[in-house]
């Protein structure tokens, strides 16, 4: 598993995009159907999916804003400068990955694809489990007893909410770091949600394709302007710190 994790670690930045793109494969069996859930069946995947995926983004945001971990790899290999155990890392060893999983699971449900939920999401979980095992192997070798003790008190995947209010009240949320680190992921995520809502659920626009396309152009234009603005601000150095 460690070798598998090291392989996928090299391409982890593409995983989110690839799994996101697979949401738009046409003609897949539906998770929720009108036959089983009634005429308003589409509200089930929309509401459940949005709640889960927003929770995932919130998890990533809290993690990055409170105590960011430098584990971006070096030469496409697992690497860490320090063992970060504060912020959300005091409640879960892999909160960023938990956020990724929740985001993908949420949009998977939002896509209302039975095959995506049954096949692709478990495969996504397998990949991230392998990556985490590879990272843990590196961290155990580098930090030794310190990492072993950390593992003994903090879960790998399931967050502990004990003392979470103290964590939030005792640390400053770094909005600049959050925006600088997360704006691209958030942009891709929001674009995907907009496309899923408008094209998978024509009921939301009363089956009016003209209104749907107009709404799509407006929303995507706004998101793109915001994204470009953030990129300009980031390059100016005003998001440092």
76: domain CATH number is 1.20.120
Q: Are residues 25 and 112 in the same domain?
A: yes
Q: What is the pLDDT of residue 232?
A: 94
Cα 235 to its chain centre, rounded Å, is 24
Confidence of residue 214 (pLDDT cuts 50, 70, 90): very high
What are the residue ranges of helices labelled H in 76-172?
95-110, 114-115, 121-143, 145-153, 164-169
**Secondary structure of residue 74 in the 3-state scheme:** strand
Tally the domains of the chain.
Answer: 2
Confidence of residue 2 (pLDDT cuts 50, 70, 90): confident
Q: Are residues 150 and 241 in the same domain?
A: no
- Percentage of the chain modeled with pLDDT above 70: 95
Which tens digit of pLDDT belongs to each residue from 143-189?
999 999 999 999 999 999 998 888 888 788 899 999 999 999 999 99
Q: Beta partners for 74?
A: 77
Q: Are residues 112 and 192 in the same domain?
A: no
Average pLDDT over residues 96-121: 93
Q: Are residues 96 and 190 in the same domain?
A: no
Q: Are residues 166 and 185 in the same domain?
A: no
> Which among 143, 171, 199 is the end of a domain?
171
- Give the CB-side neighbour count of residue 118, counting CA atoms within 13 A: 8
- Structural domain that includes position 233: 174-241
Answer whether 116's CB lies under 8 Å from 23's CB.
yes
Would the pTM of this model clear 0.95, i.e. be above it?
no
Which tens digit of pLDDT belongs to each residue from 45-80?
999 999 999 999 999 999 998 876 655 555 556 767
Instruction: For residue 241, give Cα distances in angstroms to 169, 181, 186, 238.
Output: 20, 12, 20, 8
């Amino acid at each position: 598993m460690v070798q598998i994790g090291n392989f996928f670690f090299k391409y982890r930045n593409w995983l989110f995009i690839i799994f996101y793109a697979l949401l738009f494969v046409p003609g897949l069996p539906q998770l929720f159907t009108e036959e089983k859930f009634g005429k308003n069946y589409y509200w089930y995947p929309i509401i459940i999916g949005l709640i889960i995926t927003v929770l995932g983004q919130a998890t990533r945001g809290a993690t990055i804003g409170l105590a960011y971990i430098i584990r971006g790899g070096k030469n496409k290999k697992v690497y860490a400068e320090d063992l970060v155990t504060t912020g959300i890392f005091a409640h879960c060893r892999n909160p960023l990955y938990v956020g990724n999983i929740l985001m993908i699971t949420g949009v998977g449900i939002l896509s209302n694809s039975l095959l995506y939920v049954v096949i692709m999401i478990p495969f996504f979980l397998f990949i991230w489990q392998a990556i985490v095992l590879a990272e843990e192997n590196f961290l155990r070798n580098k930090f030794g007893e310190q990492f072993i003790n950390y593992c003994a008190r903090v879960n790998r995947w399931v967050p502990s909410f004990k003392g979470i209010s103290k964590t939030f009240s005792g640390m400053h949320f770094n909005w600049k770091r959050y925006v600088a680190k997360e704006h691209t992921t958030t942009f891709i995520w929001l674009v995907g949600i907009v496309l899923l809502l408008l094209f998978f659920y024509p009921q939301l626009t009363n089956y009016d394709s003209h209104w749907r396309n107009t709404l799509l152009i407006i929303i995507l234009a706004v998101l793109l302007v915001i994204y470009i603005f953030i990129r300009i601000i980031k390059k100016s150095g005003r998001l440092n710190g």
